[in-house]
Amino acid sequence: MQCAAQAAALTIGAPLVAQAAPALVGLAPKGRVIGGGFVDDDAAAGHALRDGVTVPTGPRTERAVSVAIVGGGIGGLSAAWRLDARGLTDWTLLELGTQLGGNARSAEYPGLDGLRAPWGAHYLPVPDASAVHVRELCRELGLLSPAGEWDETVLCHAPQERLWQHGRWREGLDPLDAATAAERRQFAQFESLVAEWRASGMFSVPSAQGHAVREEARRQGGAAGRRAAEVDALDRLTADQWLRSLRLDAPALRWWVEYGTRDDYGASLQQASAWAAMHYFAARGDEEQGPLTWPEGNDYLVRALTRRLARRGDARGRARLQSSSPVLHLTRRGTGWLLDTPRERIIAEAVVWAAPLFVLPRVLRSAVLPVRIEYAPWMVANLVLDRPPAERGAPMAWDNVIYGSSALGYVNAQHQQLGTPQTTQLWTWYHALTDRPALAARQQLRDTPWSAWRDHIIADLQRAHPDIAQRLVRIDIRRWGHAMARPVPGALARVQALREWEPGPRLFMAHADLSNLSLFEEAQWHGVAAADRVVRALQ
Q: pLDDT for 110-148, tens place per residue?
A: 888 889 999 999 999 999 988 999 999 999 999 999 999
Query: Residue 473 in 3-state DSSP?
Result: strand
Helices (H) and strands (E) in the chain, counts: 15, 18
pLDDT at position 6 is: 26
Q: Which of 387, 407, 430 is nearest to 32 (CA)?
A: 387
Q: Residue 462: in which H helix or E strand, if any?
A: helix 450-462
Rg (CA), the chain: 23
Which phi and psi (to 5°) does residue 157 adopt?
Answer: -70, 160
Task: Check if the beta carbon of residue 160 is closer than 8 Å to that of residue 384.
Answer: no
Residue ranges of the chain whose pLDDT lies below 70: 1-31, 42-57, 420
pLDDT at position 22 is: 44
- What CA–CA distance (Å, rounded) separates 439 from 441? 5
pLDDT at position 54 is: 64
pLDDT at position 44 is: 64
Task: Check if the beta carbon of residue 337 is closer than 8 Å to that of residue 331.
Answer: yes
DSSP structure class, residue 512: G
Q: Which of 2, 40, 45 is nearest to 19 (CA)?
A: 40
